[in-house]
Amino acid sequence: MVYFYLFSIDKVGDIYIEKSEEAIYNLKKDFLKDTVNNLISEIELRRAAKSSYMETFVSRTADIINMKKDLPDSEFNDFFIGFFRDKPDYKFMTVIVWDNKENKVIYDPENLAGATWKDTLKANTSDLSSYRVFIHGDDSFLFGLTKSYVEELVKADITNVIRNSKFDGNSYIWINEIQNYQGGKNYAIRRIHPNMPETEGMYLSTDMTDIAGNHPYLTELQGINKDGELFSSYYFKEPGSDKVSKKLSYAKLYKDYNWVIAMGVYLDDLQPYVDQTNKESKELVSRITIFLVLLLIVIVIVSMISVSLLEKIYYRQSKKAMESELNQDVLTKAGNRRSGTNDLTNAFKEFKRTGLSPGIMMCDVDHFKGINDKYGHSAGDMALAEFVNVMKGTLRSTDKIIRWGGDEFIIILNGMEERHILDFGSKFLTSVSSLKILDHQEEIRITVSIGFSFFKEGDEDFHGALRRADEALYKSKSEGRNQANIIL
């Protein structure tokens, strides 16, 4: 019976190790997919916010111009042309002035005018994200912002988000832009690659191979064409070294930009988890085996049941510990985006059930890039960690702190009432501005900008509140930073 028991334990151990490997592998796949999907959601949020901001910008510009509408025709024309020609903040706008009496263009710095004013409008307004058209005297006027300009701003923002994002295990996000969905030479351009920034802008071909002779780009393109996404494995150099390791990646097509957004993890870090799990399992089995041998046959039966239960409990605890580690941001010890998405989803479900919404707070560190540039990334990391410590001291234990990406955080303020939230924001800003961070005897001070919102009945999911909080955050930044605003 002892031999049978030992033999069984050995087999159970093999199964346990196999299941542990499988659980870790699946957790990594979920982590990759969730991270990429979260970035795509971030792109959508930023596109909507940027379009809204540009519409506001165009509207405010129109208000400024309307203040001069009582000027005589020639003076108004001179003012209008000079306004866009001489102010640097408006030189990126599309501007056309047309003489209706003479049926000719008066001002067209980009050579966009057609044969008639009607042709000019038809050719240009479809490419504008936001614009205004009006008539003053015998002249017609058009000004606006192109969709391509707005999209380039969003792409620049996302590039900064990716470069400032940090993940465990040498993981990072990269983006390739497809030029030809049929594949072949120069089928894509490498747009963003934090591991090898010197290769950004290079053309990729589907006949490229990794160190094992695989064709990762061909495999990726085939999966993208078939399903729009795929998991794949290949060999690639690890960041900061010449070591080449096997990598698991997840890639998904963002069709609007022809971007393949991908993220990978190196699989050589699976073994330490498995070895530690195996070691602890064997130590536990050895102790129990000695005990069973001493207590003879009856105790053997009872102990076999006990060991089985202990193995299950230990497996659940190990899995829970691994999930907890994956749900925590390594640098700041706040919740990461993966866990934050779950917390926001649960909060929205509770709102739908009870009608009571928590406060949704979005904030980021003002001029954080300047801190990194001036003091170095280690000082920036220290500033983020200290900022989270201040949040933990200011917030309640029931509130959720989520590192959404880079220096951007989301806080779920459970039980917060709308009438109190701006007072809370003011106190929070005071706490942060009093924070002193010492780096090599040099004092660093930070401020943050805050946007608040709440769930409301028309929301389909939590993203609605995030969009409003993000708009409020942009308002705080555009009005001078170190302040809080709310949009309901």
Please report, for the domain that includes residue 44, its CATH number: 3.30.450.20
Question: Which of 148, 165, 196 is the last residue before a domain boundary?
Answer: 148
The lowest-confidence range among 133-137, 139-143, 306-310 is 306-310
Predicted confidence band at 19 (pLDDT cuts at 50, 70, 90)? confident
Query: Measured between alpha carbons, how far is residue 357 from residues 45, 51, 156 in Å?
Result: 21, 27, 33
Q: Are residues 279 and 249 in the same domain?
A: no
Asked whether residue 281 is domain-assigned, the answer is yes
* Contact assessment for residue 257 and residue 156, using Cβ atoms and an 8 Å cutoff: no
Q: 122 versus 294: which is more confidently predicted?
A: 122
Does the pTM surpass 0.95? The reply is no
Max distance between CA atoms of the chain, in angstroms, equals 111
Average pLDDT score over residue span 315-328: 69
Q: Are residues 37 and 122 in the same domain?
A: no
pLDDT of 7 over the 70 cut: no
The lowest-confidence range among 33-37, 45-49, 234-238 is 234-238
Q: Are residues 352 and 457 in the same domain?
A: yes
Residue type, 325: E
CA atoms of 115 and 117, how far apart (whole Å): 7
Average pLDDT score over residue span 185-204: 93
Q: Are residues 296 and 412 in the same domain?
A: no
Q: Which of 259, 222, 257, 220 is nearest to 236 (CA)?
A: 220
Digit-coded pLDDT (tens) for 230-252? 999 888 777 767 778 888 899 99
Average pLDDT score over residue span 58-62: 95
- 233: how many CB neighbours lie within 10 A of its CB? 15
* Contact assessment for residue 195 and residue 172, using Cβ atoms and an 8 Å cutoff: yes
CA atoms of 192 and 198, how far apart (whole Å): 10
Q: Which two tokens stand for residue 56?
A: 């506001």
Q: Are residues 166 and 76 in the same domain?
A: no
Asked whether residue 56 is domain-assigned, the answer is no
CA atoms of 106 and 74, how far apart (whole Å): 12
Asked whether residue 121 is domain-assigned, the answer is yes
| Domains of the chain: total | 4
Q: Are residues 263 and 282 in the same domain?
A: no
Calculate the dihedral angle through the C-alpha atoms of 326, 328, 378, 154, rounding to the nearest 10 degrees.
Answer: 90
Q: Are residues 266 and 288 in the same domain?
A: no
| pLDDT given for residue 288 in this prediction | 72
Asked whether residue 157 is domain-assigned, the answer is yes
Given the structure tokens 């409990």, which residue do they identify?
Answer: 313
Pairing of strands 484-486, 448-454: parallel
Q: How many residues does this entry show for the chain?
A: 488
Predicted confidence band at 303 (pLDDT cuts at 50, 70, 90)? confident
Predicted confidence band at 427 (pLDDT cuts at 50, 70, 90)? very high
Question: Which of 148, 165, 187 is the last residue before a domain boundary?
Answer: 148
The lowest-confidence range among 6-10, 107-111, 407-411, 417-421 is 6-10
Given the structure tokens 């102010």, which residue do they identify?
Answer: 87
Average pLDDT score over residue span 278-289: 69
Digit-coded pLDDT (tens) for 332-367? 889 999 999 999 999 999 999 999 999 999 999 999
What is the CATH number for 442? Answer: 3.30.70.270
Asked whether residue 59 is domain-assigned, the answer is no
Asked whether residue 315 is domain-assigned, the answer is yes
- Residue 262's DSSP bridge partners are 174, 251
Asked whether residue 57 is domain-assigned, the answer is no
CA atoms of 303 and 322, how far apart (whole Å): 28
CA atoms of 260 and 159, how far apart (whole Å): 14
Q: Are residues 266 and 405 in the same domain?
A: no
Q: Are residues 83 and 212 in the same domain?
A: no
Digit-coded pLDDT (tens) for 444-485? 899 999 999 999 999 999 999 999 999 999 999 999 999 999
Q: Are residues 257 and 192 in the same domain?
A: yes
Question: Which of 106, 122, 148 is the last residue before a domain boundary?
Answer: 148
Q: Which of 185, 221, 219, 216 is nearest to 202 (CA)?
A: 185
Please give the residue range of the domain that contains residue 354.
Answer: 337-486
pLDDT of 150 over the 90 cut: yes
pLDDT of 275 over the 70 cut: no
Q: Are residues 368 and 471 in the same domain?
A: yes
Q: Which of 261, 260, 265, 256 is nearest to 238 (CA)?
A: 265
Q: Are residues 180 and 265 in the same domain?
A: yes
**By percentage, how much of the chain surpasses pLDDT 70?**
90
Predicted confidence band at 165 (pLDDT cuts at 50, 70, 90)? confident
Query: Measured between alpha carbons, how far is residue 43 from residues 55, 156, 453, 472 in Å?
Result: 18, 11, 20, 17
User: C-alpha angle 284/288/290, rounded to 5°?
Assistant: 120
**3-state secondary structure at position 193:** coil
Given the structure tokens 């949040």, which residue do they identify?
Answer: 391
User: C-alpha angle 145/147/148, rounded to 5°?
Assistant: 105
**By percentage, how much of the chain surpasses pLDDT 90?**
64
Reduce the secondary structure of 76-107 to three states and give it as a string. HHHHHHHHHHHCHHHCCCEEEEEECCCCEEEE
CA atoms of 127 and 145, how far apart (whole Å): 9
CA atoms of 268 and 255, how far apart (whole Å): 32
Q: Return mean pLDDT, the chain.
A: 88
Between the two ends of the chain, the Cα-to-Cα distance in Å is 70
Calculate the dihedral angle through the C-alpha atoms of 396, 402, 408, 413, rounding to the nearest 10 degrees.
Answer: -40
| pLDDT given for residue 210 in this prediction | 85
pLDDT of 278 over the 90 cut: no
| pLDDT given for residue 166 in this prediction | 85
Asked whether residue 298 is domain-assigned, the answer is yes
Q: Which two tokens stand for residue 328?
A: 């925590």
